[in-house]
Structure 1
């Protein structure tokens, strides 16, 4: 199994740009829809990037600030005030490479506290020695093709019920430059995943499996297929998931290793 290059702060920045680009572009497209129906606002102050979705004010992953570091502290209070004026409690994503005693104290002084940990992994873009999984077939969907099937599996796997959350999930995973993959188990739609590319790095996202189809190897097949696809044009592959999750275990079995951790911070009085 090919070993990824050694981690450096520069490499971590490249990996995270590939991750951030997909979500940012989706929310910018949402904000540009006629009359901005989901009340999406994207604010940038230097490296500090903040998203607000007024129709989903209490879902932290849609109301997140990234690029939080000692260098962006001067802009932090202004952006926090925008959230307060909107009545939206923000979630701040702080990378392991940016967290320091100074930054931690500054966030605590502003009423923030850690509430969770996420992880970014990376691997060399390559064709695995074994791509197929018994009983599982994976195919890439043509742009604009099989939309109903893809959306049904995506939303069924995510379990989203709020119509705005469903709309934004579809918008993010069917946008320009997003390659969509469908896994079938015994010829039945079971799982989906997506792939985007930026600066020689492929980003794997949109992983969702129908509840009754989990544990049958569909996501393993999707990981391997997208690794092989990425090998055609990319140097590395990155992905994000919950720390110490089954997803992380599955990714590490297929050649991924930890790039870094991200702590999510929230206002103490918003956690009840």
Structure 2
């Protein structure tokens, strides 16, 4: 929630708020919305849900004509809330895992031909190209991805990385550190470079950098049972919890 709140603040503070970014607190729940980006990452509800807050939250997105999702942690899986979500036409569509480890000075040799370094200020278009191609986003949106990440990258706590394979840009990763905790917020590898150990190397680099920054905890999220999940376990991370994703049955 901390990293998402800071990312949304960065977009909201852009002159004129061109992305139409909004955040609203509903007691302990946080709803985020972005007019220019319809993806679930920018249109979801996190935190503790309360039965009486469900209708106001739904109305918030209905007014903006936006499909969104509720992200329900096991700790906050109140049966009354889940029953009410079902009554309101939502269903559990999947699972998403959060893994964690202690920040530590990991030392591990990089795979042959691989180098990792901090992304430079002039390289955000390159970052965006990898981000789009690796995640299946159309390259027409490369400029928007570059600009939205450039404004985040200059804020305190954010670190962007690029991995090169035989000197060719191959993968990117992001970390947000605040206080004693760091979050690995994003990572992606171009299809032709997958299977070379890039994501494991980027995880180890971020865990080491989190330690150097004074953090005690490192967390990351991924699809349950995915290759990312396996890489996180190889990096020494273990499962903290698996949250449930609830979406509207009819969109």
Shared fold (TM-score greater than 0.5)? yes
2:238 is the alignment partner of 1:257: yes
Asked whether the equivalents of residues 95 and 262 of structure 1 are also in contact (C-alpha less than 8 Å), the reply is yes
Question: Are the structure 2 counterparts of residues 167 and 41 from structure 1 closer, same or farther at C-alpha, using a change threshold of 3 Å?
Answer: same
Shift of 1:190: 0.9
Q: Separation in 2 of the partners of 1:41 and 1:109? A: 27
Helix, strand or coil for the counterpart of 1:194?
strand
Q: 1:174 aligns with which of 143, 149, 153?
A: 153
Partner in structure 2 of residue 11 of structure 1: none
> Aligned residue for 1:3?
none
Moved runs in structure 1, 4+ residues, more than 4 A? 162-166
CA distance in 2 between partners of 1:230 and 1:170 (Å): 25
The Cα shift of 1:115 comes to: 0.9
* Compared CA separation, residues 55 and 150, structure 1 to 2 (3 A): closer
Hey, what does 1:189 align to over in structure 2?
169
2:98 matched to which residue of 1?
A: 120
Structure 1 residue ranges without an equivalent (≥5): 1-19
Distance 1:265 1:175 in 2: 33
> Is the Cα–Cα contact under 8 Å of residues 192 and 208 in structure 1 kept in the other structure?
yes
Say if 1:133 and 1:220, in contact at 8 Å, map to a contact too.
no
**Partner of residue 201 from structure 1, selected from 178, 181, 188:** 181
C-alpha displacement of 1:129: 4.4
Residue pair 2:200, 2:234 contacting (<8 A) in 1 also: no
Instruction: Find the aligned partners of 1:146 and 1:48 in 2 and give their Cα distance.
Output: 35
**Number of residue pairs matched?**
247
Find the counterpart in structure 2 of residue 99 from structure 1: 77
Query: Shift of the alpha carbon at 1:194?
Result: 1.4
Question: CA-atom RMSD, angstroms?
Answer: 2.1
Partners in 1 of 2:140 and 2:23 — Cα distance?
21
Scaled by the length of structure 1, the TM-score of the pair is 0.83
Q: Specify every segment of 5 or more residues in structure 2 that has no aligned partner in the other structure, as ranges.
A: none
2:112 maps to 134
TM-superposed CA distance for 1:234, in Å, is: 1.1
Q: Deviations over 1:126-177 (max 9, x none)?
A: 12242422221111235x2533333332333223227568625752462413
In the alignment, which residue of structure 2 is the partner of 1:151? 128
How far apart are the structure 1 equivalents of 2:165 and 2:103?
Answer: 25
